[in-house]
Amino acid sequence: MSLVLAVYGKGGIGKSTTSANISAALALKGAKVLQIGCDPKHDSTFPITGKLQKTVIEALEEVDFHHEELSPEDIIETGFAGIDGLEAGGPPAGSGCGGYVVGESVTLLQEMGLYDKYDVILFDVLGDVVCGGFSAPLNYADYSIIIATNDFDSIFAANRLCMAIQQKSVRYKVQLMGIVANRVDYNTGGGTNMLDQFAGQVGTRLLAKVPYHELIRRSRFAGKTLFAMEPNEPGLAECLAPYNEIAEQILSQTPLASVPKPIGDREIFDIVGGWQ
């Protein structure tokens, strides 16, 4: 049975780039990985496949939404290090629910028996608002990982995600493995002080700290994971280290994880305001 991860985080903070590099690190350590993009912009797997692949919703439209007419080859592309990629996609803007499409994709994977064919399945999920559809991967996940930056908006979203994980854990096995601090820039006086305090407050930890580095941005636009960049790139070792660290923790026999204890929406304004 696959180890299932659900990666969430506020939109626009590099969640998909982080997910793709975690997948790459896992694959290079010998794991067979499926990464599933659960955002209507369907670019989660772009660094892995080097293209915007056909989405589940597009494939379903071609067969008039008859699930039984689709095979894994219709919706899965194989890319870097043998990683398989799938994109849920979404309806045209203003015409439907993206969360519903995610739920349909989860059901389709189950019907195809794909949960038994991988070592790790990583869901990369839109995380600003956790509605029923976008929270569907938590029903299947062993662990969730939150991507966050050291600012209030990101931490507020992370706290809402902790609420969703706590609620799901009542009926399902999901636990929070931890928070990945992304775009950490010590050169400009930044750090992870707010994230460190938030993690302690909700009963979790920082899994790793990903630096704010131009190489990460360039790799994304090149349609590559960091692991596919030229080995002599300045700063490459520094950028790769946190992804390898995360992969090692995921593949360990007993990853540390817990059910978070989120803060109330109004309370977090007062608490986080005092951390700045």
- 10 catalytically annotated: yes
Q: Which residue has the higher pLDDT, 184 or 94?
A: 184
- 265 catalytically annotated: no
Separation between Cα atoms, residue 253 and residue 268, nearest integer Å: 34
Please indicate if the annotation marks 17 as binding a ligand: yes
Is residue 224 very low, low, confident or very high in pLDDT (cuts 50, 70, 90)? very high
Average pLDDT, the chain: 90
Range 64-87 average pLDDT: 93
Q: How far is CA 71 from the centre of its chain?
A: 25
pLDDT digits (tens, 9 = 90+) for 133-147: 788 889 989 999 999
Residue 214: pLDDT over 80: yes
Catalytic residue among 29, 117, 119, 128: 128
Closest residue by Cα to residue 17 from 52, 48, 55, 39: 48
pLDDT of residue 128: 63
In 3-state terms, what secondary structure has residue 4? strand
pLDDT of residue 147: 97
pLDDT digits (tens, 9 = 90+) for 176-208: 999 999 999 877 667 899 999 999 999 999 999
Please indicate if the annotation marks 182 as binding a ligand: yes
- CB burial class (10 A; 0-12, 13-18, 19+) of residue 231? exposed
- 29 catalytically annotated: no
| Tokens 């938030």, residue located | 198
pLDDT digits (tens, 9 = 90+) for 242-251: 999 999 999 9
- 209 catalytically annotated: no
Range 61-73 average pLDDT: 89
Please indicate if the annotation marks 15 as binding a ligand: yes
Q: Between the CA atoms of 272, 172, 37 and 191, what dihedral angle is there, to the nearest 10 degrees?
A: 20
Catalytic residue among 15, 168, 209, 224: 15
Domains and CATH numbers, the chain: 3-274 (3.40.50.300)
pLDDT of residue 161: 94
Please indicate if the annotation marks 11 as binding a ligand: no
pLDDT of residue 96: 66
Please indicate if the annotation marks 16 as binding a ligand: yes
Range 119-130 average pLDDT: 83
Catalytic residue among 41, 74, 119, 153: 41
Residue 129: pLDDT over 60: no
Catalytic residue among 10, 168, 209, 224: 10
pLDDT of residue 116: 87
pLDDT of residue 66: 85
Lowest-pLDDT range of 19-23, 29-33, 41-45, 90-94: 90-94
Please indicate if the annotation marks 19 as binding a ligand: no
